[in-house]
């Protein structure tokens, strides 16, 4: 698989790149960013995958996430995919709503027409893009972790729970922990996967834990001033599910913080240091 370099910039001694490729999974061109920290020639480095939230592209965290200084210090590759397929022939929400369709792929493989043709983000972020990155960057495939924000927090936690042997760590900022129970998730899962709620369970963090999925532990930050906290995010459901399943969870409620990248960038360094501890060796 070949990639096209869109841009590269030197940052903290490493290289921040943006790349494009033709995706077999989505049937579209896809753009993603990769930060490679300074490293010795021939070294293979641990990689942190970052899944973004509703309305985002790869660019939001790349431009606002403030991750490069910590990644350079810790020797971490940081990969940020897009959130959905894009292009003039890609179907979106009929009413151009922000929470479905373009920018809102929800990290599932759609089975419902017309979305099943392009919206195969689960396959993209768990299979196609990891292979592409491994072929083109100095990644140590045995040392991977995943994190995300909001819809991407949902994606990160479900990816980790369904691939516990691939990922050593998983964390999230303001994740949608029970999409089967909240408006954002109900709309997306119905539209992409149909009305059978049993099928939704494999893309619902709380449901996966209830059904026996395990992981080594999670770090989750939520902002107490987040307008979506009570209706869409519901971190208390994750807390209860992890407690019942004996899955370690560090849930931090940050006073005064909202849903924005001001919140994410403030605690990004904490998360990356937490990941780095688990990616050593």
Positions marked active-site: 150, 226, 259
Which residues neighbour 263 within 8 Å (Cβ) at sequence distance 6 or greater?
173, 174, 221, 223, 226, 254, 257
Secondary structure in 3-state letters for the chain: CCCEEEEEEEECCEEEEEEEEECCCCCCEEEEEEEECCCCCCCCEEEEEEECCCCCCCHHHHHHCCCHHHHHHHCCEEEECCCCCCCCCCCCCCCCCCCCECCECCCCECCCCCHHHCCEHHHHHHHHHHHHHHHHCCEEEEEEEEEEECHHHHHHHHHHHHCCCCEEEEEEECCCCCHHHCHHHHHHHHHHHCCCHHHHHHHCHHHHHHCCCCCCCEEEEEECCCCCHHHHHCHHHHHHHHHHHCCCEEEEEECCCCCCHHHHHHHHHHHHHHHHHHHCC
């Amino acid at each position: 698989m070949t990639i096209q370099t869109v841009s590269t910039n030197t940052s903290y001694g490493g290289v921040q790149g943006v790349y494009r490729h033709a995706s077999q999974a989505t049937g579209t061109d896809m753009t993603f960013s990769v930060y490679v920290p300074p490293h010795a020639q021939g070294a293979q480095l641990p990689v942190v995958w970052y899944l973004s939230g509703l309305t985002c592209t790869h660019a939001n965290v790349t431009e606002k996430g403030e991750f490069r200084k910590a990644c350079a210090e810790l020797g971490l590759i940081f990969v940020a995919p897009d959130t959905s397929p894009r292009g003039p022939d890609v179907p979106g929400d009929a009413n151009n709503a922000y929470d479905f369709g373009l920018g809102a792929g929800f990290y599932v493989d759609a089975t419902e027409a017309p979305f099943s043709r392009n919206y195969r983000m689960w396959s993209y972020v768990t299979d196609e893009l990891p292979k592409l990155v491994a072929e083109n960057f100095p990644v140590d495939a045995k040392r991977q972790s995943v994190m995300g924000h909001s819809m991407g927090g949902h994606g990160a936690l479900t990816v980790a729970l369904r691939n516990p042997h691939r990922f050593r760590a998983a964390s999230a900022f303001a994740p949608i922990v029970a999409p089967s129970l909240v408006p954002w998730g109900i709309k997306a899962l119905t539209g992409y996967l149909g009305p059978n709620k049993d099928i939704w369970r494999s893309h619902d963090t709380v449901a996966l834990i209830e059904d026996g999925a395990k992981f080594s532990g999670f770090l989750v930050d939520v902002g107490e001033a987040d307008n979506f906290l009570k209706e869409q995010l519901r971190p208390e459901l994750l807390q209860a599910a992890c407690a019942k399943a004996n899955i370690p969870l560090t849930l931090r409620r940050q006073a005064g913080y909202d849903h924005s990248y001001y919140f994410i960038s403030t605690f990004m360094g904490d998360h990356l240091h937490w990941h780095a501890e688990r990616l050593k060796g």
